[in-house]
Amino acid sequence: MNTYSGLSRRVLACLGMALGLLLPVVAMSQTVAPGTAAEVELGRRIYNEGVIAPGVELTGTRFGNTPTHGARAACVNCHRRSGMGQVDSDILIQPITGNFLFATKADKRVTTMDPHVGKRFNKAHEPYTNATLAAAIRNGVNNRGQAMNVAMPRYDLSEPQLRAVIAYLKQLSAQWSPGVSQTSIRFATVITPDVEPARRKVLIDMMRTVFRQKNGSTAVAKNGQTRHHMTSAAELILGTERKWELDIWELQGAPQTWGEQLAANYRKHPVFALLSGVSNSTWQPVHDFCDREQVPCWFPSVDVPGKDQSLYAFYFSGGVTLESAVLARHLLDQKEPPKHVVQIYRDADAARAAAQSLTHSLAGSAVTVEDRVLSAGLAAEDALRQALGNIKPEDTVMFWLRPDDIAALGKITPVAGKSYFSAVLAKGEQAPLPSAWRANSSMVYLHELPEHRTKNLDYFHAWLNISKIPLLDEAMQSEVFFALNFMTDTLSDMLDNVYRDYLIERGENMLSIREGIKSEQETRDRVALGRTGDLVRKHGALTTAEASRIPIPKQGSAINSNGTTLYPHLSLGPDQRLASKGGYIVRFSKDSGNDLVAQSEFIVPL
């Protein structure tokens, strides 16, 4: 999984000189003495919560004499949960973990600070002592005697409280997270039992292929061998790239039992993160497991994400719950909003969540909502006829249905009013909606419109071709491909600082920037795929014969792609977990009857 094009020896040499003052990176252990458990816990509360005692808030001043207190004064706001810092506007907020603060000249630590600037690293400095760090926290003066940025609060802390903060910093991100060793990182992907065998197989095949290709070109060149894979010059020089290991966690039985199954798998083989994954039903037990164990959940392919705000779970979108919010916004923005909406669905996890979400989104408006649940005891056609009884021409009907039920509409006369379908459940333009229904039906659509999406997924389709993996489910497979690529890019950017909280923070910071850079790069690569040598160098495990199977686009045909996924735009910010924020209302083209065309602008519900 290559991320950046190769750098010349001159660039590598310059980077090596730039890093010279920071090398070598050595063992993870620290010689500074940790505090007691009580001190560390007090330091955690001060750092993360801005609390120094029950009912007593942390206080400080910034910008000269502006007071700040409580949660607003907490260190985590700027230095983040990992302690690895960030770049906020033009302010470079340095790492403040013990590994960085107290590192000796023989143990200098390196991290990339700004995803905009690949060579912007943390600044080297002399090791702090407890006394100089206390002065920095209290007085805003670093260990070189220089005043720190005025945005940094000067805290009013007692000696015991200072010791607690310092004790917490010494253990913060001090060791690699579980699942990480000097040479490898272990991941797991989760598959729930409701997933069809064909989709399960293609997910596993894709992940194993990516892992094989990545690991086949990970090792630094030795004994005259050529290194095919390089993600960044810093990673190459520092030697921080690791092999990837994959576990497949296939859940069984009822969702109520999944939590213990996940815990048992984790006890057997702790993993650094859950990478991708797929479910047709609920993801909530996996979501809860990740927050409980503080394991990142990295962009699974699911119809509805976990319902609670998460520290550790990233999703592509809100799935059917986002669809419901987009539809509600669309209906309420009409000159004459409908007076009555009828929801038709089966009593299954995703459809039920969607119906509940639409009801919530329309609450407080003049629109009334009626739920009609398909009878489980009837054949699909009979259940639909029953549910569609007494639908009035002025009613709006929302169908939260999967393809089998949609196909059963073929022998049923379309309703007179407006009908909407869920693209997530119906499988978008692949939905088997009978032609008689298409004329007066619309679809809530979270993906990029097809004419633009083709360019975004050009490289993904080329990769499927050279990897001999069939296209079974474009939405799911492109999501899997993105999750793997983005993990590669993010870990490369993290260098040797392989901490779960830091992974989450880098993901938040990098996504929108990465998408812009990556789409431009993939455009160049895709146009250049005619040069077999380039392709083989880019995918070290691929052969010239594999390269020859790729259809070569005309020059410029892949220009103007906006991203690398089937979503219009992906972005995250601090504590955001849903990368795509809106969708379209679309309909089937009257000309072809098969193509989708937009009926609305891109709708981002508030």
State the Cα–Cα distance between residues 78 and 94, nearest whole angstrom. Answer: 10
What is the reported pLDDT for 12?
37
Partner residues linked to 56 by β-bridges: 53
State the Cα–Cα distance between residues 368 and 575, nearest whole angstrom. Answer: 34
Q: Which of 90, 98, 92, 269 is nearest to 172 (CA)?
A: 98
State the Cα–Cα distance between residues 93 and 87, nearest whole angstrom. Answer: 6
State the Cα–Cα distance between residues 217 and 231, nearest whole angstrom. Answer: 11
pLDDT in tens, 213-270: 999 877 643 344 444 444 566 666 677 789 999 999 999 999 999 999 999 999 999 9
What is the reported pLDDT for 241?
86
Asked if 293 and 551 touch (Cβ cutoff 8 Å), the reply is no
DSSP 285-350: HHHHHHHHHT--EE--EESS--SS--SSEEBS--THHHHHHHHHHHHHTSSS--SEEEEEE-SSHH
Asked if 3 and 232 touch (Cβ cutoff 8 Å), the reply is yes
State both tokens at 531.
């040069």
State the Cα–Cα distance between residues 441 and 305, nearest whole angstrom. Answer: 27
Low-confidence stretches of the chain (pLDDT < 70) are 1-34, 115-119, 219-237, 516, 518-562, 592-593
What is the reported pLDDT for 556?
40
What is the reported pLDDT for 124?
81
What is the reported pLDDT for 34?
64
User: Per DSSP, which regions of 128-230 are E strands?
Assistant: 154-155, 184-191
State the Cα–Cα distance between residues 274 and 568, nearest whole angstrom. Answer: 25
Asked if 140 and 3 touch (Cβ cutoff 8 Å), the reply is no
- List all residues 6 or more positions away from 481 whose beta carbon is below 8 Å from its beta carbon: 206, 210, 460, 463
What is the reported pLDDT for 122?
82
- Please provide the size of the chain in residues: 606
User: Per DSSP, which regions of 346-456 are E strands?
Assistant: 368-373, 396-400, 419-422, 441-445
Amino acid at 4: Y
All structural domains of the chain: 29-171 (no CATH), 184-318+454-547 (3.40.50.2300), 320-445+582-598 (3.40.50.2300)
- List all residues 6 or more positions away from 603 whose beta carbon is below 8 Å from its beta carbon: 326, 329, 330, 582, 583, 584, 585
What is the reported pLDDT for 147?
93
Asked if 470 and 198 touch (Cβ cutoff 8 Å), the reply is no
State the Cα–Cα distance between residues 7 and 517, nearest whole angstrom. Answer: 16
- List all residues 6 or more positions away from 363 whose beta carbon is below 8 Å from its beta carbon: none
